[in-house]
Structure 1
Amino acid sequence: MDLKTNKILDTQLVQKNEVRNSYAMELEGLQRGLAKIAEEELQVSHLVTDRHSQIKKYMREVHPEVVHWFDCWHIAKGIFKKLEAVGKKKNCEIIGDWSRSISNHTYWCAMSSEGDGELVSQKWCSILNHVCNVHEGHGNKFPRCEHGDLEDRLWIKKGSKAYEELEKIVKGRLLMTDIKKISPAEQTSGLEAFHKVLCHFAPKFVHYFHAQMEARLLLAALHFNENSTRQQAKNQNGDLIYSVSFPKGRHGEGVAKEVKVKQTFNYIDELFEELIFRREVHSSFAEARAANALENRHRPVPVAQMEQRARKEDIEASHRSRFTD
């Protein structure tokens, strides 16, 4: 996806049995996508992904010329989950009260640092002083907090069990390495929105063979690209319209969401025009299918056919009821 235009540039469908394990599927999809972009003579200057360890190593070793950023939402989400878990421990309940603020602090660190990794790191670690009501002495690049006067609140005492648990999370080895590469601008929220659209075209609880899944993936991309830049709807008075949802992770806290204008489906007309064209060019469905490049390419064997199946007679012979004496 091009994060500036919010358009899907390419889609890749990877089946589990094409790689070693399911964890390697994301890396395989990225490799195919980058190869396709290079084939089209396009250049990638910046890449924003989650903190997938194989992708980090691949980009570092194979594509060092590409600036690799990490999506802020994925990092903040992981931090919030850890804080919520620690907040359930004895004498650490106060961390739960601070968890949302610390998670939001991640976004501010990314947005306000303009890609300066060392500045991001110092701003991030400053939260350990801030929760103790200490607002200066954070580092040479970020000597003091930028907020104004604060009202009194539940501060964490330095040296307490809660502080030690919080410090383990904030100064985690992997987090301290990755926080310096947090994306200052573009994020993968648009891609997450596309995944939501894809679930409408190809629900996860329904099985599809490779060709059918690929067709639904392409349809989802067409639909998303046509509607990805819709404007926010307005009422008769010209005011912007919002809806309120109550996500499970917010524990009853309401969240305002923009209501967009209605979706359009003009890509369907283009598909029908292409269908009529192919009907005029080819005399039969078999001929049109044979001319389709997607149909002629190699497809992986269905996962269900990978294992050798026992004969029906042997399965029936081995059948035993749990209630048989």
Structure 2
Amino acid sequence: MLQKLHEEEKVVVGGDMRAFSPGHSAKFGSYTIMKLENNKVFDLQLVQSNEVGGSYHMELEGLKRSLELLKERGVTLDCIVTDRHLSVQKFLSESSITQFFDVWHIEKGGTGGLHPLHITTDKRKWMAAGTPAFCKLEKILSNKRILKAVAKLSPHHQTSSLEAFHSIILRFAPKNVVFPFLGMFYR
């Protein structure tokens, strides 16, 4: 598969870390790289938090390992679609690799959870300017970080297939069960 990727001019990939525990204190994480045009996973890096100085650093390390593999195999990236992990953003920017953000991650981190989605065609039910709900939404959407992130939203590709792959892994390595390194590697 890597040989076929090498033969292509430019490849669009998605990358994401799946932590193997609930919350932010994971012992293991697996970083997955998927070719987004055909949803094929071509690399998965298992990272242990104590080898990189904590669970926050696992995502960047997994990405670096995957990108190193691609470089060794002569694969030319067009771009990578990821979430907005700050150290990943900094690394990709310094590496001159074009990064786009997945739309779902922006929504999840920005306006998700404010209220349930209600679809209506009744024009009288639109939010009126000056109401508390309108002001709250306006404040969120005019946030400088959100505006900057919207400019980097992926125009064509999303990581939903990558998220679906991670949900399949849950069947073999649930977040509430701790396995040793080899157990996680095999799963």
TM-score range (shorter-chain normalised) is 0.7 to 0.9
Structure 2 counterparts to residues 70-81 of structure 1, below 5 A: 70-81=101-112
Give 1:54's aligned amino acid: S
Tell me the TM-score normalised to structure 1 length: 0.44
Tell me if structure 1 keeps the 8 A contact 2:81–2:101.
yes
- Of 200, 204, 209, 2:175 maps to 204
Q: Over aligned residues, Cα RMSD in angstroms?
A: 1.8
3-state DSSP of counterpart to 2:77: coil
- Of 118, 121, 143, 1:172 maps to 143
Structure 2: gaps (5+ residues): 1-33
Structure 2 counterparts to residues 1-325 of structure 1, below 5 A: 1-61=34-94, 63-64=95-96, 66-81=97-112, 83-84=114-115, 151-216=122-187
C-alpha distance in 2, partners of 1:202/1:156? 44
C-alpha distance in 1, partners of 2:89/2:45? 19
Give 2:142's aligned amino acid: K
C-alpha distance in 2, partners of 1:20/1:48? 25
C-alpha distance in 2, partners of 1:204/1:151? 43
Tell me if structure 1 keeps the 8 A contact 2:111–2:137.
no
Change (3 A) 1:163 1:14: same
Structure whose alpha-carbon radius of gyration is higher: 1
C-alpha distance in 2, partners of 1:48/1:55? 11
Give 1:198's aligned amino acid: I
- Runs (4+) of structure 1 exceeding 3 A deviation are none
Q: CA deviation at 1:180?
A: 0.6
Change (3 A) 1:155 1:199: closer
Percent identity between matched residues is 42
Give 1:78's aligned amino acid: G
Q: CA deviation at 1:82?
A: 5.0
Q: CA deviation at 1:182?
A: 0.5
3-state DSSP of counterpart to 1:165: helix
Tell me if structure 2 keeps the 8 A contact 1:48–1:187.
yes
Aligned length: 153
Tell me if structure 2 keeps the 8 A contact 1:13–1:214.
yes
Q: CA deviation at 1:208?
A: 1.6
Point out which structure has higher relative CO (alpha carbons under 8 A, 6+ apart).
2
Structure 1: gaps (5+ residues): 85-95, 102-149, 217-325
Q: CA deviation at 1:157?
A: 2.9
**In proportion to residue count, which structure has more helix?**
1
**In proportion to residue count, which structure has more strand?**
2
